[in-house]
Amino acid sequence: MGIPNPSDEVVQVRHGDVAGEPTVVTISCPDKTGLGCDLCRLVLLFGLNIVKGDMSTDGRWCYIVLWVVARPGRAMAMRWDLLKDRLIQLCPVAAPFGLDNHHLAAAGLHHHDHDAPAPSPNIFLLKFFCYDRMGLLHDVTRVLCELELTIRRVKVSTTPDGRVLDLFFITDARELLHTKSRREETYDKLQSVLGDSLTSCEIESATEEMSSCLQASTLLPHSAVEEMFNVEVVEEQSRSCGGLSVAMDNSLSPAHTLIQIQCGDHKGLIYDIMRTLKDCNIQISYGRFYASQNGSCEVDLFAVQSDGKKIVDQHKQRALCCRLRTELHRPLRVALVNRGPDTELLVANPVEVSGKGRPLVFYDITLALKKLHKRIFLAEIGRHVVGDREWEVYRVHLGEGDHSSLRSKIVDGVTNMLMGWDDTPPS
| Nearest Cα residue to 309 out of 260, 250, 259 | 250
CA distance 301 to 299: 7
Single-letter amino acid, residue 218: T
User: DSSP secondary-structure letter at 195?
Assistant: G
Burial 314-339 (b: 16+ CB within 10 A, else e): eeebeebbebbbbbbbbbbbbbbbee
Beta strands 257-264 and 163-172 are: unpaired
CB neighbours (10 Å) of residue 136?
Answer: 22
CA distance 269 to 349: 14
> 332-426: which CATH architecture?
2-Layer Sandwich (3.30)
CA distance 156 to 165: 6
Confidence at residue 112, expressed as pLDDT on a 0 to 100 scale: 47
Confidence at residue 378, expressed as pLDDT on a 0 to 100 scale: 84
Please report, in tens digits, the pLDDT of each residue of the chain (427 residues total).
Answer: 444 444 468 999 999 888 889 999 999 999 998 999 999 999 999 999 999 999 999 989 999 999 999 987 666 778 999 999 999 999 998 766 555 555 555 555 544 444 555 667 899 999 999 988 888 899 999 999 999 999 888 888 877 787 888 899 999 999 999 999 999 999 999 999 999 889 999 999 988 777 666 565 567 888 788 888 887 878 778 777 778 999 999 999 999 999 999 999 999 999 999 999 999 999 999 999 999 888 899 999 999 999 999 999 999 999 999 999 999 999 999 999 887 778 899 999 999 999 999 999 999 999 999 999 998 888 888 888 988 899 999 999 887 665 566 888 999 999 999 999 865 444 3
Task: Provide the whole-model pTM.
Answer: 0.88
CB neighbours (10 Å) of residue 342?
Answer: 15
User: DSSP secondary-structure letter at 405?
Assistant: G
Confidence at residue 101, expressed as pLDDT on a 0 to 100 scale: 55
Reduced to 3 states (helix: H, G, I; strand: E, B; else coil), residue 223 is helix
CATH 3.40.50.300 fits 226-329, yes or no: no
CA distance 235 to 425: 34
CATH 3.30.70.260 fits 11-92, yes or no: yes
Two domains, one topology: 11-92 and 226-329: yes
Enumerate helices (H) and strands (E) in the chain, giving the number of each: 12, 16
Residue ranges covered by each domain of the chain: 11-92, 226-329, 332-426
Cβ neighbours of residue 315 closer than 8 Å, sequence gap 6 or more? none
Contact 142, 75 (CB under 8 A): yes
How far the first Cα of the chain sits from its last, in Å, is: 49
CB neighbours (10 Å) of residue 384?
Answer: 18
| Nearest Cα residue to 225 out of 384, 416, 407, 417 | 384
Confidence at residue 8, expressed as pLDDT on a 0 to 100 scale: 66
Phi, psi dihedrals of residue 303, rounded to the nearest 5°: -135, 160
